[in-house]
Amino acid sequence: MKTTSNPLLQRVILCLGVVLTIWGCDNVPQKSVNKVSLIKDSTVIAKANAKFELGMKFDDQGKYADALKNYLEALTVYEKLDEKNSVARIYNAIGVLNVNQSNDKLALGNFLKSITIREKILENNPNDTICQKGRASTINNIGMIFDKQGNYKQALNYFGDALKIAEKLNNKKSVSLYCNNFGNVYRKLGDYRNSLFYLIKGLKIKREIGDKIGEARVLVNIGAVQSDKHKFVDALSNFEESFKIIKQIGDKNLETEIYFNLARTYAGIGNYVKAFEYHQKYSEFKESIVNEESTLQFAEMATKYETEKKQAQIEIQGIKLGQQKFVIFIIAGIVVVVIFFAFWFFRTSQKERKAKRIISAQKVEVEKQKKEITDSINYSKRIQQAMLPKLEDIKSDLPESFVFYQPKDIVSGDFYWFQKVGDDVFIAAADCTGHGVPGAFTSALCSTALDEAVRVTQNPAEILEFVNRWIKRTLKQTGGETRDGMDIALVKITRSNIIQYAGANRPLYILRNNAKEVEEIKADKTAIGGFTEDDYRFTSHVRTLESGENFYISSDGFADQFGGPKGKKVTTKQFKEKLLSIQALPMEKQNEELEDFMRKWRWKSEGGEHNKDSHEQVDDFLVIGVKMV
């Protein structure tokens, strides 16, 4: 028989197979029913199991009436044969069906019936592992209802009971699932410590049992928690790791979820262009999944029904009564189904064309808005550059020095600051909350505050205390409702090579002549502004440096950048090792070495060439080095 490649006709034929099979099974003559009743119990149970599986398929498709019909038919057989575990399984499935119809009260009733049956089984046979697993699954389902209703305390109680059973049975797959549920509920409660504990526990098990798709899903959940905590770099790392798994095994539903979380995380960072880009991908994938699932479901149903049809034909072989009567019904069915699906696909194609026109118009508008925003940000860049000290002014007073400054976006949350007061020179490396436009705005405020502070006092610790009060007053942070602020390392250099340092979350690194290790002076573990108290007193550190000895201050962007052969962070340890390796070089050469190291670290190629697989810069880079003369 000649086959057709027309997709529309193929879909219609699949649907016809479903219709004809259902019609044929429902109109089997009474003689065949009598013969089927004579089949052994094992065959009857097999058919009941098929009904159960078909019911679950209908449930997944949202055809709840058909699902319930098949469940009840299977239930009748199980109860007649006293298959208690199977009866409990049916009640659990009907409960899930009720949940999908948002009827939580009915769902709870069916779940409790399932648990009651299983508890009676366990009274007589406590070692029935199938029953114990089923009971844990139903308890977990009850927890899901309370989770959905926002009753998180009850949800945790039920998840806890399910987890205990699974751990006792050493059922690792279920343990990892229930840990994931625990983690998601704790996330909703804002308890990120417990959330990460259970998610990471589940992740370890997923990896141990080789559940790749489960591993990818838990990584997304961990990333979502880290995004909630504003640990955006860590969140992006987990999304990237999950994405690698998804690309290997393929799961469009989870890939869609990753796009949604990437859009949310980039919005939190302030990278709205990336956020919009991933939200578009999320919308496109979500729409394509709906279309693909519709096609796959029809195909699966047709295959299922064809299999059952062949089995029925074997069991009632020779029974052909009523075939002529079916011919008329078949022809009528063909006409109705073809007309229905032709109309349905016509309406769908019309909607798709309309959606494409709307999307096209939206893209034009977005590009226009993007250009306007970019023009504004470029203008902001000129303003920010004008506020930064001139490098030639720094070189004039610190001839052996360098400033490695590379913003992530057009404008930056990192900035360097320089002032000369009498014979003393002040230099600072600062990192304000966020990057991009929000970070640049905060950096402008903080730079202005430093200018004001140095007019009042020349003690670095007192300067930071002044700036802390100034920022909190300017941003109205009296109640701790905003956390915007600044991390900073501030150094004062005198003519006698005495340096005085104070820091908020950013340390000072000193390399003595022929040093074998970096001397680190730790900063106060608090920021400028945000939740720091108005009267907080910063620590002042004083050191004397010899000629030829170096000191370095920086933001955290360099150490936090991903790259290298394993896609990991540079880390503070490796940053220090790099400083040790270049300490004897002239300062300009040190700057070149740091730039070259970062370029090769980010760009995945042997020669340090940029390519499509290169790691994106995740934060602003700022490193300042000074050699004493």
Closest CA to 428 of 447, 453, 442: 447
Among 46-55, 344-353, 522-531, 609-618, the minimum mean pLDDT is found in 609-618
H/E element, 486: strand 485-493
Sign of CA dihedral 81, 84, 89, 90: positive
Q: In 10 A of CB 146, how many CB atoms?
A: 20
Contact 231, 212 (CB under 8 A): no
CA 457/CA 327 separation, integer angstroms: 100
- Mean predicted confidence (pLDDT) in 459-463: 96
CA 481/CA 477 separation, integer angstroms: 6
H/E element, 455: helix 436-456
Q: Convert the pLDDT of each residue in 304-331 to its tens digit.
A: 545 544 554 545 454 455 555 556 667 7
Can you tell me which residue has the tokens 């065959």? 43
**pLDDT above 50 (res 31):** no
* β pairing state of 424-432 and 414-421: antiparallel
Among 253-262, 296-305, 449-458, the minimum mean pLDDT is found in 296-305
The confidence score (pLDDT) of residue 622 equals 96
Q: What share of the chain is helix, strand, coil (3-state, %, to 5)?
A: 65, 10, 25
The confidence score (pLDDT) of residue 266 equals 85
Q: Which amino acid is at 327?
A: V
Task: Give 24's pLDDT tier (boundaries 50, 70, 90).
Answer: very low
Average pLDDT in the chain? 82
Angle in degrees, CA 198, 203, 207, rounded to 5: 155
H/E element, 621: strand 621-627
Can you tell me which residue has the tokens 């490193």? 623
Residue ranges per structural domain of the chain:
388-627
**pLDDT above 70 (res 111):** yes
Residue 414 token pair: 């990192």
Contact 548, 497 (CB under 8 A): no
**pLDDT above 50 (res 37):** no
- Mean predicted confidence (pLDDT) in 602-626: 75
CA 627/CA 434 separation, integer angstroms: 30
Sign of CA dihedral 267, 271, 277, 281: negative
**pLDDT above 70 (res 515):** yes
> What class, spelled out in words, does domain 388-627 have in CATH?
alpha beta
Which residues lie closer than 8 Å to 428 by C-beta, 6 or more apart? 416, 417, 418, 450, 488, 489, 490, 491, 553
Radius of gyration of the chain from its Cα atoms, rounded to whole angstroms:
34
Among 106-110, 116-120, 250-254, 265-269, the minimum mean pLDDT is found in 250-254
- Mean predicted confidence (pLDDT) in 562-585: 93
Q: Convert the pLDDT of each residue in 521-545 to its tens digit.
A: 999 999 998 889 999 999 999 999 9
Task: Give 408's pLDDT tier (boundaries 50, 70, 90).
Answer: confident
- Please state whether 510 falls in left (phi above 0), alpha (psi between -120 and 50) or beta: beta
Residue 313 token pair: 């034909």
Q: Convert the pLDDT of each residue in 48-107 to its tens digit.
A: 898 899 988 888 888 888 989 999 998 998 888 888 889 999 999 999 999 888 888 899
Strand runs (DSSP E) across 368-477, as ranges?
A: 401-406, 414-421, 424-432
